[in-house]
Structure 1
Amino acid sequence: MAVTPAAYDTAGEAERGFDGLRAGAEGLTARITHVRDGIGWVWVIPGSRALPEVRSSRAYERYATCQNAFRRFVVLLAKQPALELPDRVATLRLPDGR
């Protein structure tokens, strides 16, 4: 549905990033732009430092189809349950204490 250009060091960081995006789903706005190399339209949610926070995973042939895809993304994102993540990952130990 969407991809992010951000690279996360851990799965927990990625999940917290997704949860932050999910929490603000209703207020998200997208910039719809024409693809540079090819035919089609993509939606982009602008982030900090002029980098996209999230963008569509593919190009759409029509502008209206791209708009509708973004609307569906927001609806699905808002329906995701909030994650309850620990502040840090617990260390796994073997039964013998190692």
Structure 2
Amino acid sequence: MVAVTPAAYETAWEAERSFDGLRVGAEALTARITHVRDGIGWIWVIPGSRTLPEVRSSRAYERYATCQNAFRRFVVLLAKQPALELPESGPSLRTSDAR
């Protein structure tokens, strides 16, 4: 595991769409490197549009420089991912025919 997201998505389509957005803009991503609150180490965080981070490192790193390098590797791996072929809108939800 390289990174995690604290966001919860209602459908797999929403999660895939969010990942594809990160993939497309990989070269422009910037991270905030911060010290872990409860423990020793550093994590990288990509700020999101909401109060939650978009993505963060899956673990803490002992050194600041190691954390920076881990973020750079994440960006390279993300940019290498193949494009997803997603429809413009998510799957329609069926309503039950309850009477």
Q: Distance in 1 between matches of 2:50 and 2:70?
A: 25
Equivalent position SS for 1:50: coil
1:53 aligns with 2:54: yes
Provide the TM-score with structure 1 as the length reference: 0.87
Give the paired residue count: 91
Residues in 2 aligned to 1:88 and 1:10: alpha-carbon distance in whole angstroms: 8
Identity of aligned residues (%): 86
1:4-58 C-alpha deviation (Å, 9 max, x unpaired): 0100001111000000011100000000000000000000001113321100000
Query: Which amino acid letter does the alignment assign opposite residue 89 of structure 1?
Result: P
Residue 84 of structure 2 aligns with which residue?
Answer: 83
Give the TM-score, by structure 2 length: 0.86
- In structure 1, the gaps of 5 or more residues are 92-98
Q: Deviations over 1:48-76 (max 9, x none)?
A: 13321100000000111000000000000
CA RMSD for the aligned pairs? 1.5
Q: Can you give the 5+ residue segments of structure 2 that lack an aligned partner in the other structure?
A: 94-99
